Amino acid sequence: MTGISYRMAGTADAAMLASLARRTFTETFGHLYKPEDLAAFLESHSTERWAEELASPGFAVRIALSEGEAVAFIKIGPPTLPFTPVGPSIELRQFYVLKPWQGAGIAPALMDWAIGEARRRGAEHLYLSVFTDNHRARRFYARYGFTEIGPYAFKVGTHVDEDIVMHLALEARP
């Protein structure tokens, strides 16, 4: 698809990102959960929470837009996953592309930005978690050199999924 532009998100984007986060998560995973579990999880994607994170220098969010409409985003921030960092680390917190734009080159552009931004911030390690059954995402991350380091219990409401924590040593890539 043509006409994709990218920019950094700011606090004025909080409502748009909250909506996009809810939409992309539901589009990708909504069919896996009871409505009450999905609704409870989506509450965490409030405009207020996004505004707090966007105002924090510890977070960075990059948005992909098509004709002015946000169609994807990637967010990095302080590590929260259950792992023991071996040095300065950043976590890839969220990474979603709406289905009509998957395969359009947006994901590699956003991932390249995230890796570069993590390095710019002095991180030597980048961590993320991915749903065990999200094979497309796991293959994508593996192409970048991410390796699996162990399972992670990811809660959606009262439902617990098994995610996989993955790691990329940033100094290993030029």
pLDDT along the chain (174 residues), means of 10: 87 96 90 90 92 97 95 96 88 96 95 97 96 94 96 91 94 53
pLDDT of residue 84: 83
pLDDT at residue 3, as a whole number: 85
- pLDDT tens by residue, 28-44: 888 889 999 989 899 98
- Sorted by where each begins, the domain ranges of the chain are 4-172
CATH 1.10.10.10 given to domain 4-172: no
pLDDT of residue 85: 81
> What CA–CA distance (Å, rounded) separates 125 from 154?
21
Burial per residue of 119-141, b for 16 or more beta-carbon CB atoms within 10 angstroms, e otherwise? eeeebbbbbbbbbeebeebbebb
Query: Tokens 């986060």 map to which residue?
Result: 21
pLDDT digits (tens, 9 = 90+) for 83-107: 888 889 999 999 999 999 999 999 9
d(CA 59, CA 122): 14
What is d(CA 46, CA 157) in angstroms, rounded to the nearest whole number?
15
Q: What is the pLDDT of residue 1?
A: 47
